[in-house]
Amino acid sequence: MYSETFKFPMSSIGFHDMSLKEYANLKRRADIDEFLGMLESVENLKVGKFLSKGSFGTVFEYPPNRIIKMISIVDREEILQMFDEIVVQFIINYILRHDSECKKKLSNNTMARVPLIYKIGYTIDNNNKWYLYIMMEKCQTTIADHITDTMTKLPEKKILQQSGAILYQLMSLLEVLGKKIKYNHCDLKTNNAMITFKNKNYFYTSLIDFGYSRIQLGNTILQLDKSRSKQPYIPGRDIFMFLYWFHGDMCGTFKNMEDGCGEIPEILHATILQILKKSKINFKKFQEKIKEDQNYWRDLYYILNKPKCVGSATELTPVYVKVISKYLIKKGNAIRNRGS
């Protein structure tokens, strides 16, 4: 288990070495003024093009290759929630950059990460509204959008290769983080994982949106959500959840396509059914739900909140994800001169 300190970004004094236990103590005693006193203040922060808005805040471009996430300051709890998410990102980045075992296991072929955070602070706009802001690395697009907007324009070879690489990268990252800090993302779906291309053949995936995360350093546990992340660490839980979303998106996108692309969701479908057959989950119920439509996530959410029911399935999942990811890549590599 990982027990070292991590670098916490207190802009007024630079980066500060802090343990998770020290951070927990800071949260218990600090008021809003003390938290804001750690941060850089910018009057009427200038941002670029609007990108998205959700419960997590509003995201803008910050040229040339960064984004700004802005969250309205209302009360102390909202500030703590933002700090919790920042801490999770910093801990994961710190481990990925400084732990020799992580760097060895996550080679270029299995490179997945979380976006870098460059700065955090607060700003006041022209209407005297206060906002916390996070300046971080910009990723290109969500995996959900990549499947529907980009994969559909690719030849079969590339679709197979990319599908396998996405699954393998995420699985490798989650296995490493599970071993080091007993990490569960608890909300990993295709909209909460990004893909960024360095060139036409090389890309990396990134985890985002850490509002439900669970981590453990030493004997100190940080759980960001009062329901999902209050559960104990479950190996394979996140890749199990992602596999369902990925399967649904791939089936919905490629089921009517020709030239062999329809085979991709069939492979994913068969793999998931094999996992369910060997688990204690109600196999018939899920088999019918998967065939019926893509709304099975509601049942999945229920089961993922019952660790005793899902334990055996999540333990099996990494094995099957490794098999399917390697098979997809191998099948893609075997295709020659077929429009690729």
pLDDT tens digits, residue range 136-174?
999 999 999 999 999 988 888 888 889 999 999 999 899
Among 30-39, 137-146, 217-226, name the one with the lowest average pLDDT. Answer: 30-39
Q: Are residues 109 and 10 in the same domain?
A: yes
Are 136 and 69 within 8 A, CB to CB? yes
Domain count, the chain: 2
pLDDT exceeds 70 at position 289: no
Are 82 and 71 within 8 A, CB to CB? yes
- Classify the C-alpha dihedral 94-95-100-102 as positive or negative: negative
Q: Are residues 133 and 167 in the same domain?
A: no
Q: Which helix (H) or strand (E) holds 126?
A: none
Q: Are residues 248 and 299 in the same domain?
A: yes
245 or 292: which leads in pLDDT: 245
Domain limit, last residue, from 117, 137, 157: 137
Cα 115 to chain centroid distance, Å, stands at 10
Instruction: Please choose, from the candidates 83, 79, 64, the residue with its C-alpha nearest in 3D space to the C-alpha of residue 33.
Output: 79
Whether 50 maps to a domain, the answer reads yes
Are 159 and 340 within 8 A, CB to CB? no
Q: Are residues 71 and 22 in the same domain?
A: yes
User: Rounded to the nearest 10 degrees, how much is the dihedral formed by the CA atoms of 329, 334, 335, 340?
Assistant: 60
Q: Are residues 49 and 132 in the same domain?
A: yes
Q: Are residues 98 and 229 in the same domain?
A: no
Specify the 3-state DSSP secondary structure of 305: coil
Q: Are residues 179 and 304 in the same domain?
A: yes
**What's the mean pLDDT in 58-67?**
89
Q: Are residues 119 and 151 in the same domain?
A: no
The pair phi, psi for residue 179, each rounded to 5°, is -70, -40
Whether 339 maps to a domain, the answer reads no
Domain limit, last residue, from 137, 156, 188: 137
What is the rounded distance in angstroms from the CA atom of residue 276 to the CA atom of residue 306? 15
265 or 214: which leads in pLDDT: 214
Q: In terms of residue numbers, what domain contains 87?
A: 6-137
Residue that has been written with the tokens 């599970």 in this structure: 178
Percent of the chain with pLDDT over 90: 17
What is the rounded distance in angstroms from the CA atom of residue 151 to the CA atom of residue 305? 32
For position 320, which CATH number holds?
1.10.510
Q: Are residues 131 and 149 in the same domain?
A: no
Are 38 and 16 within 8 A, CB to CB? no
Specify the 3-state DSSP secondary structure of 212: coil
pLDDT of residue 197: 92
Domain limit, last residue, from 137, 167, 190: 137
Give the pairing type, strands 66-72 and 57-62.
antiparallel
For position 54, which CATH number holds?
3.30.200.20
**Tokens matching residue 134:** 């996070």
Whether 108 maps to a domain, the answer reads yes
Q: Are residues 133 and 164 in the same domain?
A: no
With 0-12 CB in 10 A as exposed, 13-18 as middle and 19+ as buried, what is 62? buried
Question: Residue type at 323?
Answer: V
What is the rounded distance in angstroms from the CA atom of residue 50 to the CA atom of residue 70? 11
Q: Are residues 130 and 148 in the same domain?
A: no
Q: Are residues 325 and 287 in the same domain?
A: yes
pLDDT of residue 109: 63
The pair phi, psi for residue 230, each rounded to 5°, is -75, -10
pTM assigned to the model: 0.82
Cβ density class 12-33: b for 16+ within 10 Å, e for less: eeeeeebbbeebeebbeebeee
Question: What does the pLDDT look like over 90-135, one tens digit per residue?
Answer: 888 888 887 887 877 777 666 888 998 888 888 888 888 888 888 8
Whether 1 maps to a domain, the answer reads no
